Structure 1
Amino acid sequence: MGGKKVQKMREEILQGPIEKTLFALSFPLIINNLVQVLYNLTDTFWLGRLGRAELSAPGTAWPMIGTLMALGMGFATAGFALVGQYVGAGRYDKANNAAGSLYSLVLIFATIVGVFGYFVTPYALHFMKVSESVYPYALAYTRIIFLGIPFAFTSFAFSFLLRAVGDTKTPMKLNLLTVAINVILDPILIFGWLGLPEMGIKGAALATITANSVGSLIGVYLLFSGRVGVHLTLESLKPNLEFYGKIFRIGLPSSVGQSANNFGFVVLTRIIFGFGDVAYAAYIITTRLVNVLTSIARGIGMGMGTMVAQNVGAEQYERAKKIAERTMMVNFAIASLSVLLIGIFREDIFRIFLNDPAVIAESEIVLKYFLISVPFFNGIFVVVTNVFRSAGHTKKSMTLSILRLWGLRVPLSYAFGYIPAITILGLTIPLAEFFDFTSKGVFFGMGLSNFIAAGVALIWFVRGTWMKRIIERW
């Protein structure tokens, strides 16, 4: 590390025009996100041909998978912050040591998660109150995905490390390849084309882990070849308790926050399923659509993370703040346009995936009570938590994540969906009269949580307590 390419990118991040540099970093990430969402939509499209239960299975599985994966992703976030700040400070030897420690730690942790997840899946699905029609498909899908978790984790680590040094193009190219493999294999394995056996939902899961395996192996080769900004060696992969300790101390709050966040969605799945398969199917398709239209915003946010990490490492705090503020404005506008487009073309789009009148009717409720809050979530909350993580202040991002899910979204969605009335300061509010014990209350609570969480995040960001680098301690 420390080659001319990395040093040139560092200079642009620290001194170049903000908008131009942000676009240069974000464009490959935007393409990367769009391609990933394309796969998700393809998966949804093909499974929708099988039925409502098959279509719902991956959406049911991913909150549980994400809960365990988030533990490792928190450590990857710590590695990203350390590598990015070391590069910003010009300490390339330290950056390589952090990269090697992160990669070996992620591989060990991913193996443990895969084994644990495989055996805990039945109990988790029962906890979520997954309906009998969805349960067998969700069980089969989830267990196969857990078997491929080590490949998924190491692919994420590869992307995090290269993004930290300012290389967003290489992860994009690798992701294009893996998604292409996934998209091609999906219908072949699901429906048994080309003489292969028809595997249904199992085929979708197998296509995913096959593609991840290819991407992971190529990533390992590139990291060891010295052809990318990070150069790993067998020596750097040896367990380093000192760096493991750093990664744990910085990454643990992020791991706890992200895991609590994902487990919140496990509970939320249980809450939504209380109103049946129709409500959940409408929710899953809607979130897939939002992911398509907000991929640009998420890509810009990830590019911002690289710029914030390196500018904080170089102690250019005001520049880091200005980068974040401009990202908020752009992402809020993009998310607002996304919601508007979904509102206009909602029925026609839904019919493409699942021509079910009940689900289409339910989608109007999701739009009216939940989707209008998405610009505040993507434009403000997501950007602020990304700033905190990129600056290495993971306790702040953890606190915000837990507040949004456990302090706001879960209790509010349950209260408005299931509780007939609440009493505040002697005043009784008849919630049932507003929402009639329907899914309207659940989605209203989810939307309200986004508005409140965005306000809290913005106030915390403006205070500027995150404007201090973490590498001074090391």
Structure 2
Amino acid sequence: MANIERTREEILSGSIEKTLLRLAYPLIINNLVQVMYNLTDTFWLAKLGRSELSAPGTVWPLLWFMMSLGSGFVVAGFAMVSQYIGAGEYKKASRVAGSLYSLLLMLSLLLAGIGIVISPFALRFIKVTPDVYPYALKYMIAIFAGVPVALTLHTFNFVLRAAGDTKTPVKVNILTIILNIILDPVFIFILDMGVLGAAIATIISEGIGSIIGGYLLFTGKVGIKISRDDLRPDVNLYIKTFKIGLPASIGDSTNSFGFVLLNRIIYTYGTVAFATYTITNRLTNFMFAFADGISQAMGTMVGQNIGAENYKRAREVAIKAMATNFLILVFGTLLFMAFREEIFRFFINDPGIIKESEKVVKYFAASFPFFGIFSAVTNVFASAGHTKKNLILGIIRLWGLRIPLSYYLGTTLGDSAGVWIGMGLSNVISALIGFAWFLKGSWMRRIVE
């Protein structure tokens, strides 16, 4: 508790730049290690072929759709825990954390069962090419079986980050990721399980991380301690969590379903286009590891300052974080453009994918810094507990811009270049809308008593 109090004082009155960096660097390290795992996973699966490589990218938005039904409540929990700590109400913060943990554990078991049942129907809906379908189905069923461990580990990360402890979750995550990196080639090649092996390695690694996270929370070896009483159902708290988290869940689920449709659009241009999209996502995750770390640290600072009703400081923190993110992503995008061919060839020396990557760089890459702004704005709104704003922004970006533009321009041009142009325009326009809304300041109001 003493550590939480010291961190709280630093967040509320210390140097913004130093505090932001101190909170962000463990998150950046965590994100980079996660990216290294994703790149390693992509590297190994690429050795099996473009069809195997495409399986995780195919499943990702479908998994995101199911996880989003629970992740909205995690967002609500983060907002309440961070604001209660900012207000100095530590017991209430622990109560929210415990209630959230038990709620999501029950919900995740239900989501896992539903996900397994709908897997074949979902893959047929997005018109997965016949060569990818069997690999995607195996991967999807296995990954859905692991939803309970993934969601509880996710909750552990959010609860501690809300309290200002960014180091402990990183240590746990790095352990699970390193374990995953080690297990990947063992299950994929040595045990000859292919794509299914990659999924099993992920479940085992996240399962160990989830057990460690639960142990730390329930024994009080971290700043927040969850007791048995905290786990008891609290109808009033559930209702409040539901009210705050529902727009986030709706936003995440509609966005993830939008990406399911986007996958369907991209698949109309063949496996080469989708494999290129999969590799591009992995590569952009590397540069976003830095920007996301800044945004996540910013979220903790914004949440606690809003809880303490330091609205002017919360706004200053957000603006400095956004400016930092934009510069980081400009630099990363320039490197991506300069070494595009060498980077893609490292993963798979496929002439079709190398050629397709040229369109990605030409029509999509320039929008990455703007997505950094969009991501930071939505992080501010989420930390403030104003999740309806994120719901609206997400719908505008994906359903109002990305899907119709990608479909229309792709059809009009008769080429996948239209899809990349539509995706780029959606990032730029939605970022400008989000930033203008942020400047209005309507998010500067706390949600806790």
TM over 0.5: same fold?
Answer: yes
Q: Could you tell me which residue of structure 1 aligns to residue 384 of structure 2?
A: 391
Q: 2:227 aligns with which of 233, 251, 256?
A: 233
Q: Could you tell me which residue of structure 2 aligns to residue 290 of structure 1?
A: 284
Deviation at 1:470, TM superposition (A): 0.7
Provide, for residues 203-239 of structure 1, a one-character-per-residue CA deviation record: whole Å limited to 9, x for no partner: 0000000001000001111011111011011111111
Q: 1:52 aligns with which of 40, 46, 50?
A: 50
Q: Could you tell me which residue of structure 1 aligns to residue 67 of structure 2?
A: 69
State yes or no: 1:446 paired with 2:423.
yes
Deviation at 1:289, TM superposition (A): 0.6
Matched ranges for 1:195-344 at <5 A: 197-344=191-338
Deviation at 1:34, TM superposition (A): 0.5
Match for 1:182: what amino acid? N
Q: Distance in 1 between matches of 2:218 and 2:448?
A: 26
Q: Distance in 2 between matches of 1:355 and 1:404?
A: 33
Match for 2:103: what amino acid? L
Q: Distance in 2 between matches of 1:118 and 1:20?
A: 46
Provide, for residues 54-83 of structure 1, a one-character-per-residue CA deviation record: whole Å limited to 9, x for no partner: 000000001000011011111000000000
Q: Distance in 2 between matches of 1:236 and 1:318?
A: 33
Deviation at 1:305, TM superposition (A): 0.2
Match for 1:313: what amino acid? G
Q: Distance in 2 between matches of 1:349 and 1:304?
A: 31
Q: Could you tell me which residue of structure 2 aligns to residue 421 of structure 1?
A: none
Q: Distance in 1 between matches of 2:157 and 2:309?
A: 25
Runs of 4+ in structure 1 displaced over 2 angstroms? none
Q: Distance in 2 between matches of 1:222 and 1:207?
A: 23
Q: Could you tell me which residue of structure 2 aligns to residue 22 of structure 1?
A: 20
Matched ranges for 1:125-164 at <5 A: 125-164=123-162
Q: Distance in 2 between matches of 1:387 and 1:459?
A: 13
Q: Distance in 1 between matches of 2:125 and 2:327?
A: 38
5+ residue gaps, structure 2, are none
Provide, for residues 9-33 of structure 1, a one-character-per-residue CA deviation record: whole Å limited to 9, x for no partner: 0000000000000001001000010
Percent same amino acid among aligned pairs? 56
Provide, for residues 141-191 of structure 1, a one-character-per-residue CA deviation record: whole Å limited to 9, x for no partner: 010001111000000000000000000000000001000110000000000
Match for 1:444: what amino acid? I
Q: Could you tell me which residue of structure 1 aligns to residue 352 of structure 2?
A: 358
SS at 1:49 equivalent:
helix
Q: Is the 8 A contact 2:275 2:353 kept in 1?
A: yes
Provide, for residues 214-267 of structure 1, a one-character-per-residue CA deviation record: whole Å limited to 9, x for no partner: 000011110111110110111111111111111111000001001111111100
Match for 1:144: what amino acid? A
TM-score, normalization: structure 2? Answer: 0.99
Q: Could you tell me which residue of structure 1 aligns to residue 393 of structure 2?
A: 400
SS at 2:130 equivalent:
coil
TM-score, normalization: structure 1? Answer: 0.94
Deviation at 1:390, TM superposition (A): 0.2
Q: Is the 8 A contact 2:248 2:387 kept in 1?
A: yes
Q: Distance in 2 between matches of 1:31 and 1:260?
A: 30
Q: Distance in 2 between matches of 1:368 and 1:298?
A: 24
Match for 2:276: what amino acid? A
Q: Distance in 1 between matches of 2:310 and 2:173?
A: 32
Q: Distance in 1 between matches of 2:166 and 2:375?
A: 20
State yes or no: 1:88 paired with 2:86.
yes
Provide, for residues 309-353 of structure 1, a one-character-per-residue CA deviation record: whole Å limited to 9, x for no partner: 000000001100010001111100111111111111111111111
State yes or no: 1:101 paired with 2:99.
yes
Q: Distance in 1 between matches of 2:226 and 2:303?
A: 21
Q: Distance in 1 between matches of 2:295 and 2:39?
A: 22
Q: Distance in 2 between matches of 1:336 and 1:67?
A: 30
Q: Distance in 2 between matches of 1:351 and 1:278?
A: 14
**RMSD of Structure 2 on Structure 1 (CA):** 0.7
Match for 2:374: what amino acid? F
Match for 1:201: what amino acid? V
Provide, for residues 265-311 of structure 1, a one-character-per-residue CA deviation record: whole Å limited to 9, x for no partner: 10000000010011111111111111012211100000000000000
Provide, for residues 23-59 of structure 1, a one-character-per-residue CA deviation record: whole Å limited to 9, x for no partner: 0100100001001111100000000000000000000
Deviation at 1:440, TM superposition (A): 0.6
Q: Could you tell me which residue of structure 2 aligns to residue 189 of structure 1?
A: 187
- Which structure would you say has the larger Rg? 1
Give aligned pairs, total. Answer: 449
Deviation at 1:457, TM superposition (A): 0.3
Match for 2:438: what amino acid? F
Q: Is the 8 A contact 2:8 2:86 kept in 1?
A: yes
Q: Is the 8 A contact 2:337 2:365 kept in 1?
A: no
